[in-house]
Structure 1
Amino acid sequence: MSSSPDNYIPKSPVSIACNIEKTLEVLGGKWAFLILRELFGGTKRFGELQRSIPAVSPRALTSTLRHLEDKGVLERHVFPTVPVTVEYTLTPKGEDLHRIIKEMKLWAAKWT
């Protein structure tokens, strides 16, 4: 099948809505945005994330970090120290979310 502009068929609104749902599923709950905001600034340890987002419980932070790791948005690096050191870094997939979240922030600043 040729991919010339003459043969271009736009995606239906249903298809676009499904892609938005997929994105929201990757982002998960309310803590994901705040965690991503922190990780856009670079690699962070669990304690650093907890201090920078004081309202999140350790359980919710752990759950959200696991979700984001399962979705390929961040990587978890464990260092064999005593106590164990764990660092979280965004993957290229996670870094790609920066632009989207920045646009959401700009929209909120304008309209809320």
Structure 2
Amino acid sequence: MSWFVLIVSGAFEAVWATALGKSEGFTRLGPTVVFGLALVVSMGGLAYAMKELPTGTSYAVWVSIGAVLTVVYAMATGEEPVSALRVLLLLGIIGCVVGLKVLH
């Protein structure tokens, strides 16, 4: 269950990171509210998962999921360019996260 919660909280990290960018320095209400709610869910899930999983592994997996999903969303919406090298590097991050799970 802790791994599932960690993965979901990593996804919420991508939500709050994206909302933070769209909040324009907390001057836009909608994205600011989404940021706050997603941040609470994301951190709460990370804290829950860390009760059973090692801190270093939990944090690395959480931040990697958030980073990859944030970049994938930005590429899918056209906010960031897509290239074979960028996709390859994202796959490298995913491979490292899977490796951490396998080693646990």
- Higher helix proportion: 2
Asked if TM exceeds 0.5, the reply is no
TM-score for the superposition, normalised by structure 1: 0.29
TM-score for the superposition, normalised by structure 2: 0.31
**Higher RCO structure (Cα 8 Å, ≥6 apart):** 2
The structure number with the bigger radius of gyration is 1
